Amino acid sequence: MKAAHNGVPSLSVLDGWWVEGYVEGITGWAIGPRRGGTAERSDADDAADLYWTLEEQVLPLYHAGADQWARLMRSTIAFNASFFNTQRMLQQYVVMAYRD
């Protein structure tokens, strides 16, 4: 989550916070099964998906120019950094743990 505050798009499996923060091509990219997909995958399937995503989506966008990559960085900050922060985490913790 800290990387999102610095405008770094994520490239990860859909677990943890990334399930909530994932918007394809806006905040980054997912590897592995998407929602509704089967969890039964091999390491080779995940590796193939990783390489495909890098070669077909991430690297072309990165090499397309600074303007397009900067747009992705700004959207990562706007969507993920504004939502996944310490203030929200503490507020939810207090409400869920201490209030009836």
What residues pair up with 24 in beta bridges, in sequence order? 28
pLDDT tens, position by position, 38-71: 567 788 998 999 999 999 999 999 999 999 999 9
Cα separation, 69 vs 9, whole angstroms: 10
**Domain extent for 17:** 2-98
pLDDT at 17: 83
Model confidence at 78, in pLDDT bands (50, 70, 90)?
A: very high
What residues pair up with 29 in beta bridges, in sequence order? 11
Domain count for the chain, please give it. 1
pLDDT at 72: 95
CB atoms within 10 A of CB 28: 25
CB proximity list for 74: less than 8 A, separation 6 or greater = 7
Q: For the whole model, what pTM was predicted?
A: 0.76
- Listed as own residue / partner, the contacts of 67-75 with beta carbons closer than 8 Å and 24 or more positions apart are 72/9, 72/25, 72/26, 73/7, 73/8, 73/9, 74/7, 75/26, 75/27
Which one, of 62, 63, 64, lies nearest residue 29 by Cα?
62
